[in-house]
Chain A
Amino acid sequence: MEKKTTELATLGQRGLLKRDATAEGLQYLTFSLAGEEYGIDILKVQEIRGWAPVTKVPNAPSFVRGVMNLRGAIVPVIDLRLRFGLETVEYTKTTVVIVATVQSASGSRIIGTVVDGVSDVLNLNPADIQPAPDFGTAVHTDFISGLVTVDAGMVMLLDVDRLLSVEEMFALENVRPTESHITAAAA
Chain B
Amino acid sequence: MAIDIGQFVQTFFEESFEGLDVMEAGLLALEPGVTTDLEKINTIFRAAHSIKGGGGTFGFKDVTDFTHLMETLLDGMREGRLSVTSEAVDALLQSVDCLREMLIAARENIPVEPEQVRALRARLSRLLNQQPAQNRAENTPSPTVAPASAPQAAGWRIQFRPHPQLMHSGNDPVRMFRELTELGKLTVRADASRLPKLADLRPEDSYLSWELELSGDATRDAVAEVFAWVEGDCDLNIEPLAAEAAPGVRAEPAPPAAPPGAEAGPKTGEEGRQGELLLERRKGEDRRRGDRRVNVAASDSASIRVGIDKVDAVINLVGELVTTQSMLSALGEDFDMSRLDKLHEALDQLDRNTRDLQEHVMRIRMLPVSSVFSRFPRMVHDVSAKLGKQVELQINGEQTELDKTVIEKIGDPLVHLIRNSLDHGLEPPDERARAGKPETGVIRLDAYHKSGSIFIEVGDDGRGLNREALLRKGLQEGLLRPGEEYSDEQIYDLIFHPGLSTAKQVSDVSGRGVGMDVVRSNIQDVGGSIQIASHPGQGTRITISLPLTLAILDGQLVSVGEDCYIIPLLSIIESVQVRADAVNRVAGKGEVFRFRGQPLPILRLYELFDTEGAVSDLEQGLLVVVEADGRQVGLFVDDLEGQQQVSIKSLEKNFRQVSGVAGATILGDGRVGLILDISGLIRVNNVAL
Q: Which residues of A are at the interface with B, using a C-beta cutoff of 8 A?
A: 5, 53-60, 64, 66-69, 72-76, 109-111, 166-167, 170
- The answer to whether B674 has its CB under 8 Å from any CB of chain A is yes
CB distance from B240 to the nearest CB of A (A): 64
Among A5, A56, A73, A167, point to the contact of B654 (Cβ < 8 A): A73
B673 and A55 within 8 A (CB): yes
CB distance from B474 to the nearest CB of A (A): 28
Residue of B with least CB distance to A170:
B656
The B622-673 residues at the A interface (CB cut-off 8 A) are 649-651, 653-656, 658-661, 664, 666, 670-673
Q: Which residues of B are at the interface with A, using a C-beta cutoff of 8 A?
A: 563-564, 608-611, 649-651, 653-656, 658-661, 664, 666, 670-674
A111 to B654, CA, bound (A): 7
Beyond A55-B672, A166-B656, is A74–B609 a contact (Cβ under 8 Å)?
Answer: no
A79 to B643, CA, bound (A): 32
Beyond A55-B563, A74-B664, is A69–B653 a contact (Cβ under 8 Å)?
Answer: no
CB distance from B661 to the nearest CB of A (A): 7
CB distance from B656 to the nearest CB of A (A): 5
Among A64, A67, A166, point to the contact of B664 (Cβ < 8 A): A67
Residue of B with least CB distance to A101:
B654
A74 and B649 within 8 A (CB): yes
A55 to B566, CA, bound (A): 13
Among B649, B653, B660, point to the contact of A109 (Cβ < 8 A): B653
Inside 8 A of B564's CB, which chain A residues have their CB? 55
A73 to B655, CA, bound (A): 11
B671 and A55 within 8 A (CB): yes
Inside 8 A of A75's CB, which chain B residues have their CB? 654
A74 to B646, CA, bound (A): 14
CB distance from A83 to the nearest CB of B (A): 15
B660 and A74 within 8 A (CB): no
A166 to B651, CA, bound (A): 12
11 A-B pairs with CB atoms under 8 Å apart are: A55-B673, A57-B651, A60-B658, A64-B655, A67-B655, A69-B671, A72-B666, A73-B653, A74-B664, A109-B654, A167-B656
CB distance from B671 to the nearest CB of A (A): 6
A170 to B650, CA, bound (A): 18
Among B608, B658, B666, B671, point to the contact of A57 (Cβ < 8 A): B658
- 5 A-B pairs with least C-beta separation: A58-B609, A55-B672, A76-B655, A109-B654, A74-B664
CB distance from B284 to the nearest CB of A (A): 34
Most chain B Cβ neighbours within 10 Å, of A57, A73, A76, A170: A57
CB distance from B358 to the nearest CB of A (A): 16
Inside 8 A of A5's CB, which chain B residues have their CB? 670
Inside 8 A of A167's CB, which chain B residues have their CB? 656
Residue of B with least CB distance to A56:
B563
B658 and A74 within 8 A (CB): no
A57 and B674 within 8 A (CB): yes
CB distance from A87 to the nearest CB of B (A): 18
Inside 8 A of B656's CB, which chain A residues have their CB? 166-167, 170
CB distance from B441 to the nearest CB of A (A): 43
A54 and B672 within 8 A (CB): yes
A167 to B660, CA, bound (A): 19
CB distance from B664 to the nearest CB of A (A): 5
Inside 8 A of A110's CB, which chain B residues have their CB? 654
Most chain B Cβ neighbours within 10 Å, of A60, A67, A111, A167: A67
Given contacts A5-B670, A69-B670, 16 further A-B contacts (CB under 8 A): A55-B671, A55-B673, A57-B651, A58-B610, A58-B660, A60-B658, A67-B655, A67-B672, A68-B672, A72-B649, A74-B651, A74-B672, A75-B654, A166-B656, A167-B656, A170-B656
Inside 8 A of A59's CB, which chain B residues have their CB? 658-660
B672 and A166 within 8 A (CB): no
Residue of B with least CB distance to A1:
B562
Residue of A with least CB distance to B670:
A69
CB distance from B610 to the nearest CB of A (A): 7
B658 and A58 within 8 A (CB): yes
A66 to B674, CA, bound (A): 11
A166 to B611, CA, bound (A): 23
Inside 8 A of B653's CB, which chain A residues have their CB? 73-74, 109
Inside 8 A of A72's CB, which chain B residues have their CB? 649, 666
A57 to B672, CA, bound (A): 10
Inside 8 A of B666's CB, which chain A residues have their CB? 69, 72
CB distance from A114 to the nearest CB of B (A): 16
Inside 8 A of B673's CB, which chain A residues have their CB? 55
A57 and B661 within 8 A (CB): yes
Most chain B Cβ neighbours within 10 Å, of A54, A58, A75, A110: A58
Residue of A with least CB distance to B652:
A106
CB distance from A124 to the nearest CB of B (A): 29
A55 to B488, CA, bound (A): 41
Inside 8 A of A53's CB, which chain B residues have their CB? 671
CB distance from A179 to the nearest CB of B (A): 28
A64 to B656, CA, bound (A): 12
Among B608, B651, B659, B670, point to the contact of A67 (Cβ < 8 A): B651
B609 and A56 within 8 A (CB): yes
Inside 8 A of B563's CB, which chain A residues have their CB? 55-56
Among B608, B610, B654, B659, point to the contact of A74 (Cβ < 8 A): B654
Inside 8 A of A111's CB, which chain B residues have their CB? 654-655
Inside 8 A of A76's CB, which chain B residues have their CB? 654-655
Residue of B with least CB distance to A108:
B654
Beyond A166-B655, A166-B656, is A58–B672 a contact (Cβ under 8 Å)?
Answer: no
Residue of A with least CB distance to B663:
A74
A67 to B674, CA, bound (A): 9
A56 to B655, CA, bound (A): 13
Inside 8 A of A73's CB, which chain B residues have their CB? 649, 653-654
Residue of A with least CB distance to B650:
A74
CB distance from B645 to the nearest CB of A (A): 16
Inside 8 A of A58's CB, which chain B residues have their CB? 608-610, 658, 660-661, 674
A57 to B662, CA, bound (A): 12
Inside 8 A of B660's CB, which chain A residues have their CB? 58-59
Inside 8 A of B674's CB, which chain A residues have their CB? 55, 57-58
Residue of B with least CB distance to A72:
B666
Inside 8 A of B611's CB, which chain A residues have their CB? 56
CB distance from B387 to the nearest CB of A (A): 40
CB distance from A71 to the nearest CB of B (A): 10
A110 to B649, CA, bound (A): 14
Inside 8 A of A54's CB, which chain B residues have their CB? 672
CB distance from B636 to the nearest CB of A (A): 15
Inside 8 A of B651's CB, which chain A residues have their CB? 57, 67, 74
CB distance from B417 to the nearest CB of A (A): 29
Residue of B with least CB distance to A68:
B672
A66 to B611, CA, bound (A): 13
A176 to B483, CA, bound (A): 41
A59 to B659, CA, bound (A): 7
A69 to B545, CA, bound (A): 31
CB distance from A54 to the nearest CB of B (A): 7
A53 to B611, CA, bound (A): 15
CB distance from B604 to the nearest CB of A (A): 13
A73 to B654, CA, bound (A): 9
Inside 8 A of B661's CB, which chain A residues have their CB? 57-58
CB distance from B608 to the nearest CB of A (A): 7
Residue of B with least CB distance to A112:
B654
A161 to B41, CA, bound (A): 61
A161 to B613, CA, bound (A): 36
A112 to B663, CA, bound (A): 19
CB distance from A45 to the nearest CB of B (A): 15
Inside 8 A of B650's CB, which chain A residues have their CB? 74
Inside 8 A of B609's CB, which chain A residues have their CB? 56, 58
A74 and B655 within 8 A (CB): yes
